[in-house]
């Protein structure tokens, strides 16, 4: 039986959840397996490397610390913005686009007061330990 090697094009079904069991993503709910190159930088490192050595039909649970997932939460990616530079009606939880020089990136409004808002440009899953149940469904 063939096993996944770095560089193989593979397909997996997965469920991603937080340590408390709350599911944040599932390929089965979308009805399509995830296709990617094993060992590549197409996905977070722990996931991409974690499938190496598995065979079609194998399942495993990967627990990935932030360093193997979306990285630690970086406080330098959290900034304050004055109300006058924000879109009208913005509220906590809104996702906005911000620009620094020519770079455009996504930010989330995490706090607001009568003077402005706190904007967080970290990935929403940064700083979190993630748990993935993975099943290899194909090696192409």
Q: What is the rounded distance in angstroms from the CA atom of residue 62 to the CA atom of residue 60?
A: 6
Same domain, yes or no, for 60 and 20?
yes
Number of domains observed in the structure of the chain: 2
Q: Do 66 and 13 have their domain in common?
A: yes
Residue 49 sits in the same domain as residue 94: no
φ, ψ (nearest 5 deg) of residue 137: -110, -10
Q: What gap in Å lies between CA 126 and CA 76, rounded to an integer?
A: 13
Q: Are 130 and 114 contained in the same domain?
A: no
Average pLDDT for the chain: 95
Above 80 in pLDDT, residue 1?
no
92 and 24 share a domain?
Answer: no
- pLDDT tens figures, 55-100: 999 999 999 999 999 999 999 999 999 999 999 999 999 999 988 8
pLDDT tens for each residue of 43-63: 999 999 999 999 999 999 999
128, containing H or E segment: none
Q: Are 130 and 18 in contact (CB under 8 A)?
A: yes
For residue 4, is it within any domain? Answer: no
Show the domain range for 83.
Answer: 75-120
In a domain, 1, yes or no: no
CATH number at residue 53: 3.10.50.40
d(CA 31, CA 47): 20
CA pair distance 54, 68, nearest whole angstrom: 19
């Amino acid at each position: 039986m063939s096993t996944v090697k770095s560089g193989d094009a593979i397909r997996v079904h997965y469920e991603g959840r937080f340590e408390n069991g709350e599911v944040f993503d599932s390929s089965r709910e979308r009805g399509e397996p995830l296709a990617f190159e094993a060992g590549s930088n197409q996905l977070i490192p722990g996931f991409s490397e974690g499938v190496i050595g598995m065979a079609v039909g194998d399942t495993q649970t990967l627990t990935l610390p932030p360093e193997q997932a979306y990285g630690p939460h970086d406080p330098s990616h959290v900034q304050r913005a004055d109300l006058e530079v924000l879109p009208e009606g913005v509220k906590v939880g809104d996702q906005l686009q911000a620009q620094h020089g020519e770079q455009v990136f996504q930010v989330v409004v995490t706090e607001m007061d009568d003077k402005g808002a706190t904007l967080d440009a970290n990935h929403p899953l940064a700083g979190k330990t993630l748990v993935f149940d993975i099943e290899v469904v194909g090696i192409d």
